[in-house]
Amino acid sequence: MAKITLSNLAHSYQKNPETENDYALKTLNHVWEDGAAYALLGPSGCGKTTLLNIISGLLKPSKGQVLFNEQDVTEKKTAERNIAQVFQFPVVYDTMTVYENLAFPLKNRNLKPAYIESRVHEIARIIDAEDILTKKAKELTADIKQKISLGRGLVREDVNAILFDEPLTVIDPHMKWQLRTQLKALHQNLGHTMIYVTHDQTEALTFADKVVVMSMGVVVQIGTPEELFEKPQHTFVGYFIGSPGMNILNADVVGNKAIIGNHEIILNNGYKNLQGKLELGIRPEYVRLTDNPDDLPITINRVEDVGHYKIVRATHQGQDINIILKEETGISENMRYVSFDKARTNIYTDDWLVTP
């Protein structure tokens, strides 16, 4: 088990990267604390897998170092790093039985047969595969194969970290829930450093102590699920986390007033000399629909009832505003205005959060 430090790390798939845009992973400094569970969240192609493969050594970074505890492992091969990784699509050794698959990483390390046997049975119990141990791996369905891959990732006790690269993609929803809960429990029992790559926010938020949000090769925010929700550091985080995401409105900010179109909104804090592209961010959960003509006028386009709440899709002078209402809330003819919860209103310049 180890603390993993990334120091000035960057990676480009091009031979001679010139501009910052040539990098799939832009310069990054980060410490993954020993024993913590992280989720690496971001849309497809944002550099998540690149980062993961650099940590496991499958990819050599163009720049910077990877340190396990204080030891530089940048030049070390995957096999020497003693790390486990589970891939997006199941990888099983077809000709082996399930038992042999699970025992394979241990056998390669020449561990004692008695230990291997007890360990394999233990893992088989965790992934619920005890009754298929003697089956050939080739005969299994994709989701069972993925469970075996997962088991192979967990079978070694002394690994520095366990990396998961969207491991639950091929698993059906109810099993997903079960496995995720098991992984979380496993993390609490074993205390391995775990990094879990996903593009599914629910998966990230339920699994991790800390979520790392990436976009376009940049880490835009690292924080607890609550921090990501309440104080998105970047408009991308606001938009990516939550369903629907944060409302981002073009605004002018002068002192403690935000001007949207020709309407003024009083803010909790005053801001000085803001430059660049100014935006106001407010989560749909914190927008209230009112009938007060002093509030921001809107046009309601449609109301979606998604079960336990309603989403009101509205616009103000061409800018989209989503509002989340409780299921039982009625919408009267006069409710054509919105007000924002001041404490939850954030101001962004050039996509980054401004602290007042």
Q: Rounded to an integer, what distance in angstroms lies between the CA atom of residue 14 and that of residue 286? A: 44
Answer whether 127's CB lies under 8 Å from 168's CB.
no
Closer CB to another protein, 89 or 115, in the complex: 89
Closer CB to another protein, 87 or 177, in the complex: 87
Q: CB-based burial of residue 92 (10 Å sphere; 0-12 exposed, 13-18 middle, 19+ buried)?
A: buried
Enclosing H/E stretch for 106: helix 98-107
Q: Rounded to an integer, what distance in angstroms lies between the CA atom of residue 315 and that of residue 323? A: 10
| C-alpha torsion angle, residues 190, 193, 199, 203 (rounded to 10) | 30
Closer CB to another protein, 58 or 175, in the complex: 58
The candidate with the shortest Cα–Cα distance to 234, out of 263, 267, 212, 201, is 212
Closer CB to another protein, 94 or 130, in the complex: 94
Interacting residues toward another protein by CB under 8 A:
53, 56-58, 77-79, 83-85, 87-89, 91, 93-96, 104-105, 108-109, 136, 138-139, 149, 152-153
Length of the chain: 356
Q: Rounded to an integer, what distance in angstroms lies between the CA atom of residue 59 and that of residue 165? A: 14
CB of 53 to another protein, least distance (A): 8
Enclosing H/E stretch for 123: helix 113-126
CB of 350 to another protein, least distance (A): 38
Closer CB to another protein, 47 or 242, in the complex: 47
CB of 179 to another protein, least distance (A): 18
Closer CB to another protein, 27 or 88, in the complex: 88
Kindly report the CA angle at 243 between 199 and 87, in degrees rounded to 5? 10
Q: Rounded to an integer, what distance in angstroms lies between the CA atom of residue 55 and that of residue 53? A: 5
CB of 24 to another protein, least distance (A): 16
The candidate with the shortest Cα–Cα distance to 127, out of 146, 114, 108, is 146
CB of 70 to another protein, least distance (A): 23
Closer CB to another protein, 86 or 205, in the complex: 86
CB of 78 to another protein, least distance (A): 4
CB of 84 to another protein, least distance (A): 6
